[in-house]
Structure 1
Amino acid sequence: MHLKKEKRNMDSDHLPLNWSWVKLGDIGKIVSGGTPSTKIHDYFNGDIAWITPADLTGYSNKYISSGRRNLSELGLKNSSARLMPKGSILFSSRAPIGYVVIASNEISTNQGFKNLIPNEKVFNEFVFYYLKASRQLAEQNASGTTFKEISSKNFSKLPIPLPPLKEQHNIVEKVEELFSELDNGIENLKKAKEQIKTYRQAVLKFAFEGKLTNGKSEKAKGKGENGELPEGWKWVQLNEVCDKIQDGSHYSPQKKYPVNDGSKFLYLTSKNIRNNYLTFEKTEYVDKEFHNSIYPRCNPEYGDILLTKDGANTGNVTTNTLDEEFSLLSSVCLIKPSKDMLLPNFLKYYIQSPIGFKEITGSMTGTAIKRIILKRIKSAKISLPDIKLQNLIVQEIESRFSVADKMEQSIDESLQKAESLRQSILKQAFEGKLIQQIQEGKGLSNFQRMQVIGAVIKVMDSFSYKKGEMIIAKFIYLVDKLYKLNLNFNYKQWHFGPYSPEIKKLLNTRSGYFNRMGTDAKSFYTLTKEEKLFSYPNPLVNQVKEKLPNLTKIFSKYKVPKERDHKIELLASVCKVIEDEGTNDLTEVYQALKQWKTSKTITGFNNKAEKFSLSEVERALNFIDKQEWFDILA
């Protein structure tokens, strides 16, 4: 079979000079899987991890250690499954094609995989991301009628661009850094979407408390069995203000049709009802005989209310927007409001509100399938103002919902763009463009710098240091300059020592990695997403964890926090002067500290020389000389 190529140019001219195109079979051994007879119990429930494509449905981690079932030694021996070493790359080759994971221990798979045991030429995580980006290419080279599958032969021939091993590691690090920033953005977008959902519920709550149109609730008439109501409102039973409350057919039609030949009628069930709209995915039709058996009793018309009373979507409600006859199943309740007393949209929003939903659904019956009985719906209480106010309330709700809808649409578009960006990142990675960015030295990303800040906070935790913003900033300055981390912060002579406003910005970003405790000058920061922050490799984090304890130990002998903070500020300030002035002469350094202006209102001093005595500065300079830091700083 001729191997098909995705729309990518396999010509080496389109890759960096030290890269080359190879085949998957060139960088490791291709291994398939197998399944022993499921009729023999002794073949299963052993200690050998065994993966099927079903185990990867919804699985998002890079590594996997086991599936739902294990094989026994006997089961492995009596099947075509093979035990593969830790680090092997598992790729689902059918049903569906394209799941990718890395084995975190010895593992086997069923026949739904083509696996790669990588050789020394490749970093398995580099191949992992390449295969994640190559699902379409694999599908193009699959065959089959019932379901497509890519063969071992074709899988081994799939092309992969191969850079030197060190660059593979650099690319993976860059991809994961960018993915982390992207994941954080997606998480924030999803939070914003949840906030919109909460806002909608707040609007509905206010609406049916009478607060939406009046700014605040009018004087209540008094407490009834369902709570207080504004002046002019009343509690009524739903069946008192409706012409009909009826469910659909209590039996399914013997024949359903996928298309309408002109003589059929649309057939809607609970799956077609959503909040505020009808969905027509997988719609079905019924014949005239069935339709006529139900329509006289349950006759939905334009503007009526359709409420899901059975199933997973129980409680969903919408206005009927169809101007044609159709049939309903009993999972849907038809409500025809008496329009001189109750507006359909007022009722719809009431059911969606916290108070209305609770009143309509009550204690829903059923365990696996939720159900509202018709009697409950008919006897449900509704808080009712006059028609004029109902109309005004509906207008106010829809005005606010319109704004929320636009915001939600914008968020959804951003989420779609985020997923497209993920694919774009992978595309750039395997075209050699990410490594070009790394080699061009475009500097650290904000995420990498947040990782360093997180590492500083973690080390300070281990020494029981308070982690205020200024103390964190001074330790970041010292570790950055003394150990040449090149964090690219623009440190300035601040009131309490060297400081970069960018540190504050990163500490208070919406990323959620840091949590500020307190609001005054004594506030401090803690790590909140430590596992996620450090889940992406960053060599600088390891340097901080290795080097910073040497600095923190210097100050550990000072047990009084105020004295310790003073010594930290002294060392950082003297180091900053040496860096700026290029001198370690005591007179020149002390003169520079006199020029370092501070606010007396904030610090109690006009300049640093007022805060630090000449003898303190001399001792700091002697310590710096002893540590051989002058040449590093100057």
Structure 2
Amino acid sequence: MSSEVPKGWRHAKLGEIAALSGGTTPSKSNDAYWTQGVVPWATPSDITSLPLAKTRIAATETHVAELALKECSLKLNPPGTVLMTSRATIGYAAINDVPMATNQGFLAFACFDICDPDFLCHWLNANKTALTAAAGGSTFKELGRGTAKLLPILLPPLDEQRRIADVLGSIGHSLHLADIAVKKFDDLLSALRRELTHHPDLTFDGVGRVSLHDLCRPRQHPTISSQQLTSTGFPAYGANGQIGFYTSYTHAAPVIAITCRGATCGTVNWIPAQSYVTGNAMALDEVRHELINERFLFHYLSAWGVAKSIAGSAQPQITRQSLNGIEIALPPLAEQNSVAAVLDDVLSQLEAASTARTKVEAVRSQVTADLLSGLVRVPA
């Protein structure tokens, strides 16, 4: 934090701007504390699972009975309290819209008159790294109440806090709308993929069923180590997307690659031209274009998956032989071309929406940093 204080701002400690309290977990062995619970009781997952743009919480997965409030020293936080995760995953904050209790994985901030709750919520979310660094513990990190009270904050006047919160809230709303757009296109693409292609286990007039091996040659190319990757060159792809660059490429043209190892096993990817596909992904080489439109095949596999070919639980994997059991319901080529064109159009809209969302998120990050530091001021 800069030592230069913007005009009208001042240094403060979190304990000077809010009263901090914790939460607790009523005994799980006493059913009376849980049966027919009506009081919202937050755990960290209720906060960390919120969309990035959301800073309000009105519901929790778990509820406790009112008896737990009376007998377990369980604090009921009034609406407008800033609830921040303080264990393991630290610094995720939201404001409760309804009276809410929490478990011990939280610090609750009841703001004094000099601090706006929305401003503090944005500040906490923007300072996760510093909050985590201040935490102690060896088994898992925890930010204690005593430590948190002493942490410094650069505090604008109350009216400017509110203006800052309004600006950040507006950008957050834009990000929320962008999230909605991305989800709508993603849901539309998923639905259309299944609607416009045919289930491999069903029979349809005019639609043949062929093995994936009849349409292409699945192949694993040599795996390259992390030490062999370069900072520039041709993009290299492994089990989790692009892993870096390499000095040569395996494919001059775009290719379908199916992740064949690890947690993402079975993921279907479209790899761009002049890329290196490592042995952690199965490249579908030598596609017989006289039989199948390659983009249709990509959408088809994305819709119906290759779960039948996955073996192993501790270390899932796909082999060339196991892919032989994947059947494709194959309509005439003209129909494939039409279906691929429709699905590609929806996919391009999804990608455009995702790109727009990424830009909004970048703007939000930069504006948050500028406003919370006082580098940029919000006029009255």
- In the other structure, the counterpart of 2:78 is 85
CA contact (8 A) 2:258 2:281 kept: no
Distance change (3 Å), C-alpha of 1:343 and 1:106? closer
CA contact (8 A) 1:64 1:103 kept: yes
Distance change (3 Å), C-alpha of 1:424 and 1:74? same
- In the other structure, the counterpart of 2:332 is 383
- In the other structure, the counterpart of 2:230 is none
Alignment match of 2:5 (pick from 4, 9, 14): 14
- In the other structure, the counterpart of 1:611 is none
Query: In 2, distance between residues paired with 1:244 and 1:415?
Result: 36
1:434-449 map, 5 Å? 434=376, 436-439=377-380
TM-score of the pair, normalised by structure 1: 0.41
- In the other structure, the counterpart of 1:416 is 358
Shift of 1:77: 4.1
- In the other structure, the counterpart of 1:24 is 14
Distance change (3 Å), C-alpha of 1:240 and 1:316? closer
Question: Where do 5+ consecutive residues of structure 1 fail to align?
Answer: 1-7, 206-224, 228-234, 247-258, 262-276, 283-302, 329-333, 365-372, 440-634
* Secondary structure of 1:160's aligned partner: strand
Residue by residue over 1:185-225, the C-alpha shift from the partner in whole angstroms, topping out at 9 and shown as x without a partner, is 6666x389669969x97xx99xxxxxxxxxxxxxxxxxxx7
How many matched pairs? 318
- In the other structure, the counterpart of 1:346 is 292
Distance change (3 Å), C-alpha of 1:405 and 1:157? same
Query: In 1, distance between residues paired with 2:49 and 2:346?
Result: 30
1:140-539 map, 5 Å? 140-181=133-174, 183-184=176-177, 190=182, 226-227=205-206, 237-238=209-210, 242=214, 279-281=238-240, 316=268, 342-343=288-289, 346=292, 348-352=294-298, 380-383=329-332, 412-434=354-376, 436-439=377-380
* Secondary structure of 1:150's aligned partner: coil
Alignment match of 1:132 (pick from 125, 128, 131): 125
Letter in 2 for 1:121: I
- In the other structure, the counterpart of 2:48 is 57
Higher helix share goes to which structure? 1
Root-mean-square deviation (Å): 5.1
CA contact (8 A) 1:86 1:105 kept: yes
- In the other structure, the counterpart of 2:63 is 70
Query: In 1, distance between residues paired with 2:216 and 2:106?
Result: 57
Letter in 1 for 2:332: S
1:84-123 map, 5 Å? 84-123=77-116
Shift of 1:351: 3.2
Task: Flag the structure with larger Rg.
Answer: 1
- In the other structure, the counterpart of 1:472 is none
Distance change (3 Å), C-alpha of 1:378 and 1:178? closer
1:550-589 map, 5 Å? none
Distance change (3 Å), C-alpha of 1:187 and 1:304? closer
Question: Where do 5+ consecutive residues of structure 2 fail to align?
Answer: 198-203, 226-235, 242-254, 309-321
TM-score of the pair, normalised by structure 2: 0.63
Higher strand share goes to which structure? 2
Query: In 2, distance between residues paired with 1:154 and 1:429?
Result: 25
Letter in 2 for 1:425: V
Shift of 1:24: 0.8
Query: In 2, distance between residues paired with 1:110 and 1:122?
Result: 25
Distance change (3 Å), C-alpha of 1:30 and 1:197? same
Shift of 1:280: 1.5
CA contact (8 A) 2:215 2:292 kept: no
CA contact (8 A) 1:243 1:336 kept: no
Q: Percent identity?
A: 22
Query: In 1, distance between residues paired with 2:42 and 2:278?
Result: 52
Distance change (3 Å), C-alpha of 1:430 and 1:345? farther
Shift of 1:89: 1.3
